[in-house]
């Protein structure tokens, strides 16, 4: 097993699907081989690296990759989960349910003394007043409880700053499943970036655009347990053009609406 060091890899793309493709291919080709805590005895070692992904125009179309391993309706549900907290009520680790959500950690962070902090509101207020501030960040990690969880947060920190009337977001993750999670993470975090830019625009009375997006993962990995599935993805890349591998936001509109209907049904079922 070659795990003497973890390579640092940097990729750059104009759009989300372009940058994500480059990142997973680079991880596969250059990542070190190393075991994980989730491996079965027969699983090959994962491919792993430290990854920095720069997306220069995160809202340029096409914005969606056809190969991310989830449905478009699921992506809309995840977006609302992170931005609007539709599943915060599922948090109840004492009963074996969810231990956290990103929305809860970002918008309703509870300290060790049960003080609640809306970190996203702080970021909006701070950059509205001082757009060049370096202090506009939000964290998720709770050192007094997260190390004990079976599935502690992968997202660690969000850092925002305004450059030339454009809001940049740097996202830091301790661990990121390159193939099965990274694209959904990137899509939803850029949606949060857009939401923050819009709120700052209202407060400042001037347009703050969405700037570039930087995705930083300490461990960006492809699990050995799904190598065969990933090899199918590589075959698709060889056989199809980039246009055939992506979707526009317009194409996804009806599927996103399906996701919103599923959310409403979930609410009604819970109310019964």
Q: What is the DSSP string of 203-244?
A: HHTS--EEEEEEEEEEEEEE-GGGHHHHHHHHHHHHHS-TGG
Which of 28-32, 145-149, 182-186 is predicted with the least confidence, judged by mean pLDDT?
145-149
Whether pLDDT at 269 is above 90: no
* Structural tokens at position 216: 């930083």
C-beta separation of 16 from 214 below 8 A = no
Range of the structural domain that residue 217 is part of:
8-231+247-271
Q: What is the pLDDT of residues 110-152, one digit of tens each?
A: 999 999 999 999 999 999 999 999 999 999 999 999 999 889 9
Q: Please state, in angstroms and rounded to a whole number, the distance separating the CA atoms of residues 55 and 178.
A: 16
Whichever domain contains 68, its CATH number is: 3.30.572.10
How many structural domains comprise the chain? 1
β partners of residue 11: 53
Q: Please state, in angstroms and rounded to a whole number, the distance separating the CA atoms of residues 211 and 176.
A: 23
C-beta separation of 48 from 31 below 8 A = yes
Per-residue confidence (pLDDT) for residue 1, from 0 to 100:
45
Per-residue confidence (pLDDT) for residue 176, from 0 to 100:
98
User: Looking at the domain assignment, is residue 240 inside a domain?
Assistant: no
| Token pair 């980039």 in the structure block, residue | 242
- Average of pLDDT values for 57-78? 96
Q: Please state, in angstroms and rounded to a whole number, the distance separating the CA atoms of residues 265 and 157.
A: 33
* Structural tokens at position 151: 């599935």
- Average of pLDDT values for 238-251? 96
Kindly report the average pLDDT of the chain as a whole number: 95
Per-residue confidence (pLDDT) for residue 268, from 0 to 100:
87
Per-residue confidence (pLDDT) for residue 63, from 0 to 100:
98
- What letter does residue 143 receive in the DSSP assignment? T
All residues at 6 or more sequence positions from 7 whose CB lies less than 8 Å from its CB, including other chains: 30, 31, 32, 49, 50
User: Looking at the domain assignment, is residue 261 inside a domain?
Assistant: yes
User: Looking at the domain assignment, is residue 1 inside a domain?
Assistant: no
User: Looking at the domain assignment, is residue 113 inside a domain?
Assistant: yes
User: Looking at the domain assignment, is residue 3 inside a domain?
Assistant: no
Per-residue confidence (pLDDT) for residue 129, from 0 to 100:
97
User: Looking at the domain assignment, is residue 2 inside a domain?
Assistant: no
**Band (223; pLDDT cuts 50, 70, 90):** very high
User: Looking at the domain assignment, is residue 187 inside a domain?
Assistant: yes
Which of 90-94, 207-211, 213-217, 268-272 is predicted with the least confidence, judged by mean pLDDT?
268-272
- What letter does residue 234 receive in the DSSP assignment? H
User: Looking at the domain assignment, is residue 238 inside a domain?
Assistant: no
DSSP 152-175: --SEEEEEEEEETTEEEEEEEEEE
Per-residue confidence (pLDDT) for residue 93, from 0 to 100:
87
Q: What pTM, to 2 d.p., does this model score? A: 0.95
- Average of pLDDT values for 212-240? 95
Per-residue confidence (pLDDT) for residue 3, from 0 to 100:
59
β partners of residue 170: 159, 214
**Band (2; pLDDT cuts 50, 70, 90):** low
Q: Please state, in angstroms and rounded to a whole number, the distance separating the CA atoms of residues 18 and 192.
A: 20
């Amino acid at each position: 097993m070659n795990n003497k060091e973890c390579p640092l890899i940097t990729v750059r793309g104009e759009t989300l699907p372009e940058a994500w493709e480059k990142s997973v291919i680079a991880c596969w080709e250059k990542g070190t081989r190393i075991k994980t805590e989730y491996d079965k005895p027969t699983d090959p070692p994962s491919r792993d690296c430290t990854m920095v992904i720069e997306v220069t125009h995160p809202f340029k179309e096409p914005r969606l990759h056809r190969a991310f391993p989830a449905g478009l309706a699921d992506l809309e549900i995840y977006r609302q989960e992170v931005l609007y907290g539709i599943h915060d009520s599922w948090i109840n680790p004492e009963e074996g349910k969810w231990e956290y959500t990103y929305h809860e950690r970002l918008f309703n962070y509870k300290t060790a003394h049960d003080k609640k902090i809306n970190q996203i509101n702080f970021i909006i207020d701070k950059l509205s007043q001082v757009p060049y501030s370096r202090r506009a960040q939000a964290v998720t990690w709770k050192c007094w409880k997260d190390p004990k969880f079976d599935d502690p947060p992968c997202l660690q920190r969000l850092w925002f700053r305004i450059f030339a009337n454009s809001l940049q977001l740097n996202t830091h993750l301790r661990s990121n499943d390159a193939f099965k999670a990274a694209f959904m993470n990137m899509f939803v975090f850029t949606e949060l970036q857009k939401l923050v830019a819009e709120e700052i625009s209202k407060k400042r009375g001037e347009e703050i655009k969405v700037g570039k997006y930087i995705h930083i993962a300490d461990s960006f990995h492809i699990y050995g347990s799904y190598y065969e599935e990933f090899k199918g993805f590589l075959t698709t890349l060889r056989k199809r053009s980039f246009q055939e591998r992506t979707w526009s936001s317009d194409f996804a509109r009806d599927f996103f609406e399906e996701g919103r209907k599923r959310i409403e049904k979930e609410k009604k079922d819970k109310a019964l």
